Amino acid sequence: MLDKTKVEEVINKIRPALQRDGGDVELVEITDDNVVKVRLTGACGTCPMSIMTLKGGIEAILKQDIPEVKAVEAV
């Protein structure tokens, strides 16, 4: 199981970039098979580019910093 504190630390590094664009991200859960579930809020919740932000940004950074992360999904 992934360390929730470590996942939150990485998300907190990403958060300022999202907030500059009027959005945010919050950790919802970490599954037993190391899938991180997040909720995109604010402008990110309705942005047509949000899937790119999720996969190309959030998931890529989480996997880089925590190789055990299998995937990141929006809920």
Mean pLDDT confidence for 2-28: 95
Per-residue pLDDT tens for 20-58?
Answer: 999 999 999 999 999 999 999 999 888 888 989 999 999
Q: What is the DSSP letter of 52?
A: H
- On whether the CB atoms of residues 9 and 29 are closer than 8 A, the answer is no
Q: Please give the model's pTM, rounded to 2 decimal places.
A: 0.92
Q: Of 9 and 45, which is predicted with more confidence?
A: 9
The yes-or-no verdict on residue 1 having pLDDT over 90 is: no
Closest CA to 7 of 50, 54, 67: 67
**CATH homologous superfamily of 4-74:** Fe-S cluster assembly (FSCA) (3.30.300.130)
CA distances from 11 to 43, 45, 64 (A): 17, 16, 12
Half-sphere exposure of 13 (CA within 13 A, CB side): 13
Q: Can you give the residue ranges of every domain in the chain? A: 4-74
